[in-house]
Structure 1
Amino acid sequence: MIDAILFDKDGTLFDFHKSWGAWARQLLADLTVDEAHAARLAAAIGYLPEEGRFLPGSLVIAGTPSEITAAMLPELPGWSAGQLEARINEVAAKARMVEAVPLVPLFEAFRARGLKLAIVTNDAEAPARAHVAAHNLGGLVDFVAGYDSGHGAKPGPGMLNAFLRAEGLDPARVLMVGDSLHDLEAGRAAGTRRVAVLTGVAKAASLAPHADVVLENIGEIPAWIDSLSA
């Protein structure tokens, strides 16, 4: 009943707070001149340094690097948007991502089922590919797209539709898996089934009305797929 799975990256493949908290700390250390400046920049991206977590409305959760750049730029006189976005992407590519579950065995199990696999993220494509390579997923993924890959950003369906077209897939037999409303809205627009996971910031109550199912993490997907034909 399922031929392929599209995964969001941050908060879905990787635990959001653990992974992007490290990115935020490094970025603030690179950019700020004193504690007051750091506090203002942290507030601009909805990050709570003392707690190591992001606010539910943080741009970092589902926004693009361009949107994060626009939020931070007023606090960084002397930086151009292009320079700042490049630095954001550079730090992101080097950030240590913490897997939500062990990814290689899970992706190998999906491959054994004959499933096509894709990663569609509002991160830039270069950091996304760096994270894919760092976690040994390169040979297990058929398609990787970021907001800057030419298909648009989520919640638009462009990245999803590009994968569906490339593989000749029926969207009704494809899963879109993500941790945010942007992911689920993109799946709805593309006509896929929608699976929400709780390894990001959003809570089950906000995701459930927009998803076919809410799971704790992506490790529960195989059993859920099996339940569809039970």
Structure 2
Amino acid sequence: MTKTSNANAHTIKGILFDKDGTLLDFNGSWLAPYVQVTQFIAQSMGRPELKESLMTDGGFIPETGGWVSDSLLTSASNQQILEFWSQQIGQPIVGENLHHIKQIFSRAASRYAPAIEDLHGFLNRLKARGMRLGLATMDDEKNARRMLATLQLTGLFDFVCGADSGYGVKPEPGMVHAFCQSCGLAAKQVIMVGDSPKDLNMGKNAGAAYSIGVLTGAHDRAALSAHADDVLDDISCLNRFLRGLNSAP
């Protein structure tokens, strides 16, 4: 743990989670939809070379199946991604093409891979400790709520927001501040948990007690360590982290 803080397991009252790469395995959830969308754009433009370049320009590394740190496709909003792809192809994505792409993104929100096997049990245990739980994603809010409903997690979350909810985008602090306001918490009582530098820096910019990175997303330990107070294998390790706060000097 690299951050000096007066926070301990008793003063932490809320945990704000990112969605993709944190509650969900990133590649298991989003790699196939991204490939499907870029194939569609390439076909509709009659430019087959776009299939690869739209992925690699967005940060995908085909040789390894990994991603460039803090790249567009790993941490941007759907709107930011669409604007970037429009710039890459030299024309706006509109009309039926835009509708079709949004449908692919929407379907992706109900076909996903949870980051840990017992996600429901893990979150229930945090609630049993009295934690207020929030979800802050760069996906659209409706997609986040659809994911929670499908996994039967809706009742466990006190707050849900997306990039389109009006609280700004990561790494701006607005989503953390909105979570705190909604749940009656101070930022120093909150842990931000995410898989990208944008998640972690959002927590820091908001004054959260800790910004914790997890390795179930598109970034490795080295990429997260520069921004995180700690880096965990996955969210299940939060229980150990919280126990460690009690023994910290």
TM-score by length of 2: 0.83
In structure 1, give the amino acid aligned to 2:74. Answer: I
Instruction: Provide the rounded CA distance (Å) in 1 between the counterparts of 2:152 and 2:97.
Output: 29
Paired residue total: 230
CA RMSD of aligned residues (A): 2.2
Map of 1:163 onto structure 2: 179
Q: Does 1:213 align with 2:230?
A: yes
Alignment of 1:102-181 (within 5 A): 102=117, 103-181=119-197
Instruction: Provide the rounded CA distance (Å) in 2 between the counterparts of 1:184 and 1:59.
Output: 16
Counterpart among 214, 219, 243 of residue 197 in structure 1: 214
Name the CA shift for 1:142/1:89 in 2 (closer, same or farther; >3 Å): farther
Instruction: Provide the rounded CA distance (Å) in 2 between the counterparts of 1:82 and 1:156.
Output: 31
1:93-146 superposed Cα distances (whole Å, 9 cap, x missing partner): 211211110311111111111111001011111222222222221111111111
Map of 1:73 onto structure 2: 86
Name the CA shift for 1:120/1:55 in 2 (closer, same or farther; >3 Å): same
Which of 45-54 and 210-219 deviates more? Answer: 45-54
Counterpart among 31, 43, 60 of residue 73 in structure 2: 60
Q: Does 1:24 align with 2:24?
A: no
Alignment of 1:26-41 (within 5 A): 26-33=36-43, 35-41=48-54
Instruction: Provide the rounded CA distance (Å) in 1 between the counterparts of 2:104 and 2:211.
Output: 31
Q: Is residue 159–residue 182 contact of structure 2 (8 Å, CA) maintained in 1?
A: no
Point out where structure 1 has 5 or more consecutive residues left out of the alignment.
Answer: none
Q: Is residue 82–residue 93 contact of structure 2 (8 Å, CA) maintained in 1?
A: no
Q: Secondary structure at the match of 2:49?
A: helix
Instruction: Provide the rounded CA distance (Å) in 1 between the counterparts of 2:113 and 2:170.
Output: 23
Instruction: Provide the rounded CA distance (Å) in 2 between the counterparts of 1:83 and 1:174.
Output: 42
Instruction: Provide the rounded CA distance (Å) in 2 between the counterparts of 1:147 and 1:24.
Output: 18
Q: Does 1:228 align with 2:245?
A: yes
Q: Is residue 17–residue 54 contact of structure 1 (8 Å, CA) maintained in 2?
A: no
Name the CA shift for 1:133/1:86 in 2 (closer, same or farther; >3 Å): farther
Name the CA shift for 1:82/1:141 in 2 (closer, same or farther; >3 Å): farther
Point out where structure 2 has 5 or more consecutive residues left out of the alignment.
Answer: 1-9
Name the CA shift for 1:57/1:160 in 2 (closer, same or farther; >3 Å): closer
Name the CA shift for 1:87/1:141 in 2 (closer, same or farther; >3 Å): farther
- Give 1 or 2 for the bigger CA radius of gyration: 2
Which of 104-113 and 49-58 deviates more? Answer: 49-58
In structure 2, give the amino acid aligned to 1:222. Answer: N
Name the CA shift for 1:53/1:211 in 2 (closer, same or farther; >3 Å): closer
Q: Displacement, 1:14?
A: 1.0
Name the CA shift for 1:229/1:45 in 2 (closer, same or farther; >3 Å): same
